[in-house]
Amino acid sequence: MRREESSGFLIGMLTGAVVGAISALLLAPMKGTETRERIKDKYGTAKEKVASTKDQVMQKAHDVASRAKQKREEVMSGARRTTEEMAEQVQEKAEETSSETYPM
């Protein structure tokens, strides 16, 4: 599943849960003041859960970015090392060929 699809699914799921919870509260046989108080409590709880989830997602994104940066540095270091080794080999072969062609 692509990131856009999973993010859209998550938003849809959260929206559905909030709408369902509010509908259940509004349709329950209670006084208006009790209903409003329950909605206020549920809103506070939902708000805390969203903030907590956001923090977790941000931390995971930071962790993934850090690992990607570290991996990129490892790959670049390996590529540099390989390039230097190949350049040395080419230089050695060029010197061998040059000394064989034009003996001193």
Burial (0-12, 13-18, 19+ Cβ within 10 Å), 24: exposed
| Separation CA 93–CA 101 (nearest Å) | 12
- Tell me, what's the pLDDT at 74? 95
Q: Which residues contact 28 (CB under 8 A, 6 or more apart)?
A: 35
- Tell me, what's the pLDDT at 2? 61
* H-type alpha helices, the chain: 3-27, 32-101
In 3D, which of 54, 51, 47 has the Cα closest to residue 18?
47
Q: Does residue 79 come out as left (phi exceeding 0), alpha (psi in the -120 to 50 range) or beta?
A: alpha
Give the three-class secondary structure for 103: coil
pTM of the predicted structure, to 2 decimals = 0.48
Q: Using an 8 Å Cβ cutoff, are 32 and 42 in contact?
A: no
Residues of the chain with pLDDT under 50: none
Q: Using an 8 Å Cβ cutoff, are 18 and 46 in contact?
A: yes
